[in-house]
Amino acid sequence: MAAKSFHRSIVFLFAIGLTCLEPTQASASIWTIKRTVDRFTDEKTCRVTPLSEFSRAIVAGLMKVGYTSYFFAEIRDNGVRVGVTSDSNIPVAPEIQLRIDSDPAITITSADTPVDQGPTIPIPNLQNLPPAVRDSIARSMQTAMAIMSPYRVVTGDRAKEILRRLVSAKKAMWRPVIGVNAQFGETVNIPINGLADALRKCGISLQ
């Protein structure tokens, strides 16, 4: 019985060590760089993530969950992105909160998240419908599709500003907002060491 308890403790500590990713780790190898080219659109992407997809799958298995969410930064043909995603294609939490050092939290929502692809939903051409109302309907549909996205990200200058703050920070963390009345998921630390070098190798400029 004691042996089983000890084994569970070791598995738990191993999983926590991988998922928390304490920023005091000295090794830059915790960052993985993945370059891809979409065979259909020819779009090039370079993504920086903590650990590898294989390591995250081990964590998910040890924790007996279907998947793990994680922080990432990437550059696509259309610019830089920063946020949270998972290795599955299911929607993540509606909102993500990111905190760098002791600064106020940064909230990333579905409204910040671009819709790269999805079904085209026609807007009914109702008689005498004012343009402002049609625009509002279109924005609502766009937001609804973004909610179903498998990531929450910010883009452009805002993404670069977050990365500039991260690479010079002492600590950083994120957590999902998963319910009403400020219900939150588990807080996960973001490793700092090695991030600047990984971004540079990925071609992500912070200028």
Left if phi > 0, otherwise alpha if psi is -120 to 50, otherwise beta: which for 50? beta
Half-sphere exposure of 207 (CA within 13 A, CB side): 3
CA distances from residue 16 to 13, 60, 166, 185 in whole angstroms, order as listed:
5, 11, 22, 15
Neighbouring CB atoms inside 10 A of 195's CB total 23
For residue 150 the two structure tokens come to 């498998």
Q: Which amino acid, one-letter code, is at 183?
A: Q
- pLDDT-derived band at 119, boundaries 50, 70, 90: low
pLDDT tens for 45-69 read 999 998 776 666 665 555 545 457 8
Identify the residue whose tokens are 């993945």. Answer: 34
Taking 90 as the threshold, does the pLDDT of residue 86 lie above it? no
DSSP state of 193: T
Contact 197, 30 (CB under 8 A): no
Q: How far apart are CA 195 and CA 199, in angstroms?
A: 6
Q: How far apart are CA 188 and CA 195, in angstroms?
A: 16
Q: Please, which residues have CB within 8 angstroms of residue 65's CB and are 6 or more apart in sequence?
A: none
13 phi/psi in degrees, rounded to 5 = -65, -40
Mean pLDDT, the chain, as a whole number? 77
Say what the pLDDT of residue 197 is. 94
- pLDDT-derived band at 19, boundaries 50, 70, 90: very low
Coil vs helix vs strand at 145: helix
- Looking at the domain 2-113+149-202, which fold is it? Immunoglobulin-like (2.60.40)
